[in-house]
Amino acid sequence: MSNCLSIKAGPAAVIVSRNQPVIYHYGYKEPGSNVMLYNLLVTKLAQTVAERMEANRQNAVSGVIINTCGWVKGQGYQMLIHAAKAFEVDLIIVLDQERRYNELVRDLPETVKVVFQPKSGGVVERSRQARVESRDKKIREYFYGSAAQFYPHSFEVRFSDVKIFKIGAPALPDSLMPLGMKAEDQLTKLVTVQPSQQLLHHLISISMAESGEDDIIQTNVTGFICVNNVDLERQMLTVLSPQPRPLPRTRLLLSDIQYMDSH
């Protein structure tokens, strides 16, 4: 699923009549970096959307439009199938990829209508560089707005006031795993991150989780900050934030995505 609603840091959904999207922290640059975590979050997002639709008839009759990501080969295709099943979609439109159309017809139930649509003349596939530039533009717009009409805040946060985590531990051979654990379990493991210079310029999600007992991985996030400076001597982070201090929550999730603030 391609997130065009906020920073491209994880899957997201929004009710069209409301502007506040539901976002979950993924934190990697590519869906293939942690397929297990991505599928887990897509399933959680589908459950959340289903609950919203069940609670609001207007939302239910309006339906859901899903914008998929452009990775549709190999694992990317399997992730596409996973999303279709998680959201129980009844219509898929395939743009100018006849092979993908035939595969979807083959692999999905007959209750799912798959439509092939040729692309318009002059339409070209975006290059990898174009996608990177699009992501950077989206991050800049999050903090400054589309025409620099936003004025984000820069302030300091004490190391002791926040807890920083990352989803996904380094892969280990099965022989080194604790008894009963598998290597893939590491992909959705919550790892504590100690503040260091390695946080510099990284985007960090602010989790809505209120305590350590909450499932942070499957709890949506309320927004994002960017680390502009790490002062180890004073034990302080300087962050760029769309809203003034204090941070609304103290449990933070580190992402691999970086943003160099030139303002």
The model's pTM is 0.79
Could you tell me which residues come within 8 angstroms of residue 150 by beta carbon, excluding any fewer than 6 positions away?
143, 144, 242
Superfamily name with CATH number, domain 138-258: Pre-mRNA cleavage complex subunit Clp1, C-terminal domain (2.40.30.330)
Which pLDDT tens digit goes with each residue over 32-58?
999 999 999 999 999 999 998 898 888
Residue 204: beta bridge partners? 225, 254
Which part of the chain has CATH 2.40.30.330? 138-258
Could you tell me which residues come within 8 angstroms of residue 181 by beta carbon, excluding any fewer than 6 positions away?
none
Which pLDDT tens digit goes with each residue over 170-184?
766 666 666 666 777
Amino acid at 257: I
The H or E element spanning position 116 is strand 113-117
Is the separation of the CB atoms in 35 and 165 below 8 Å?
no
The burial of 182, by beta-carbon neighbours within 10 Å (0-12 exposed, 13-18 middle, 19 or more buried), is given as exposed
Q: Over pLDDT 90: what percentage of the chain?
A: 59
